[in-house]
Amino acid sequence: MQLSRIIGSEARPKVRPFWRWVALAAALRAGAALLLLPFLIALFTDPALGLAWLCALLAAVATGWMVERRVGILAFDIGLSTMTSVNTRLIGALLAAPPGWLTAHRQAEARRALSGTGMELFAGFVNFAAQIGINLLVPGLLAAGLLFACWPLGLVALLLWPMLLGTMGFGARMMRRAEADFAAAGREVGERSEEFARNQALLRAAGRGGLAGPVTRAVGRQRRATMRLLRFSVPGTLLFSVMSQLAVVSLFGTIAALLWSGRIGAVEAVALGMVVMRYLEPVEALAALFPVIETLHGTVGRTVSILDAPRLTPGRDLAPSGSDIALDDVRVALNGQPILNGVNLRAAAGQTTAIVGPSGAGKSTILSLIARFHDPDEGAVRVDGTDLRDLSPDAHLSRLSIVFQTVQLLEGSIAENIRIARPDATDAEVAAAASAAGVDEIADRIGGMGAAVGQDGQRLSGGERQRISIARAFLKQSPIVLLDEATSALDTASEAAIARALATFRDRTIVIVAHRIETVAQADRVFFVDEGRVVEDGTPAELIARGGRFAAWWAQSRAARAWHISPGQG
């Protein structure tokens, strides 16, 4: 059961006692309801005996109240323990998960889980868990008791209860499927609306100031998902309503038939009617709790999906001393679609290796495997001959500097954002790294290395943010450097400065995903990747002379760099 998997280790010893107390509370409720039969019958036939049954009834009610109080205390303890431990376990699961697993959707789910799961589970245990359990058990216990008091009515009650639960479960399944589509449509509307707002300047400059097409289509899909949600909710609700009415008719019809046949008298019929009302009360209570049950189901599902995140194997604490990199027959697929299909690649220690190819060829996936943001489905990624799965992820990452195409900056100064790579670096080392990446020019423009970059680096251009990211790589002084289109947002002068800086680190193993020929020209070896395979490899000069795919790409890139608009005359 999913719920048992998110309960903290401190609370687990209390779970079995909790459910035993819940079962006892349900038995006492059912027993109190069944005691109505002899009490009401004796009340009309033998008042003295009725007083004795009344005392028994009061004793059952009082005992039930004390038991339910104990249930409440246990529920509070379990909820509090779970609330205090679940966020720690979620954070642990996220830290152990491959970084590549954290897609934008999963990041949103993780934020939602971390911000609300603890309180939702606490409230669920304290306020609802016991009531849900008791209301699920009472009708079955009452039906079993009625088999001894009035077996025809008990048999009808016993048959009706699983049917009522089944219709309730059917409605829940239909709602969950429709709600999943609705939630996905809502996320898409949010993403498209954010994109639309963020790109207003571009859209208005292009004469597209009205509602953007992607937003309109996303809203349309959300509307269809809403209508589907309504359509799916009606059959389940209607079926449960019909089943509830059928239960009422069947139970009271059975009492009426027994009365008309003379098998029970009027007093017994009234008493049995009172018990039937107690039988139907949990049905109404569960129907009222249905939204809460569905909310808790969603909370538990989100939590378990994160706790079940794939985990990188811990491996050894010591990383290998060498820095040569090899991909051996690596295969990776996403949702059944192959991304890498038998890639073999060697990046020699101390050399610069460039990976080029068309968009979607799998270049960035290769870098993510080297960084161990993912593990391959088949094959192996090795550093110094050791499979990365046998190494400690932290030890491996400590020997990597990574420059992403999309740069993340913190709301701090330029120096603080560079120093993230090596917190113990001196001011002189930070300044040297900044100078190597051309960041000192940015600092001069906005007020020095202590100047704030703004939230997400909003005071800087894309190229300036990328320079800071490259400065981080220089500062870390790691033996392996991975650059994913790291110079894509730089102008020609900045890229030339970066190229000169990279040339000073020839002792490192550098792997670059690039599309600019100035960057590729410096590589010791080039791998041309297309459709998830390495189709060519060699030095830039060898590949150009070969006249294959790389040579065509090179010629096209050179032509694009030479292209310009001639000034008009007149």
In the chain, the domains with their CATH numbers are: 1-146+297-311 (no CATH), 325-562 (3.40.50.300)
522: closest CA among 354, 271, 311? 354
Higher-confidence position of 299 and 193: 299
What mean pLDDT is predicted for residues 206-230? 60
| Local confidence band at 173 (pLDDT 50, 70, 90 cut-offs) | low
Query: What was the pLDDT predicted at 21?
Result: 93
Query: What was the pLDDT predicted at 564?
Result: 47
Work out the mean pLDDT of the chain and round it to a whole number: 79
Percent of the chain at pLDDT exceeding 70: 78
Q: For residue range 545-556, what is the model confidence (pLDDT) as tens digits?
A: 998 888 888 888
Residue 200 reports pLDDT greater than 70: no
Higher-confidence position of 30 and 293: 30
Burial 366-398 (b: 16+ CB within 10 A, else e): bbbbbbbbbbbeebbbbbeebbbeebbbeebbe
Q: Are 351 and 524 in contact (CB under 8 A)?
A: yes
Q: Are 505 and 499 in contact (CB under 8 A)?
A: no
> Strand 386-387 and strand 378-383: pairing?
antiparallel
Residue 95 reports pLDDT greater than 60: yes
Token pair of 49 as six digits: 């005996």
Percent of the chain at pLDDT exceeding 90: 10
Query: What was the pLDDT predicted at 569?
Result: 44
Residue 379 Rama label (left phi>0; alpha psi -120 to 50; beta): left
pTM of the model: 0.61
Which helix (H) or strand (E) covers residue 397, if one does?
A: helix 393-397
| Local confidence band at 503 (pLDDT 50, 70, 90 cut-offs) | low
Q: Residue 155: exposed, middle, or buried by beta-carbon count in 10 A (0-12, 13-18, 19+)? A: middle
For the ranges 15-29, 357-371, 486-500, the lowest mean pLDDT is seen at 486-500
Q: For residue range 446-493, what is the model confidence (pLDDT) as tens digits?
A: 888 888 888 777 778 777 787 888 888 888 888 888 888 655 555 665
Higher-confidence position of 85 and 429: 429
Query: What was the pLDDT predicted at 302?
Result: 76
Q: For residue range 333-361, what is the model confidence (pLDDT) as tens digits?
A: 877 788 888 889 998 888 889 999 888 88
Query: What was the pLDDT predicted at 565?
Result: 46
Residue 211 reports pLDDT greater than 70: no
Query: What was the pLDDT predicted at 560?
Result: 65
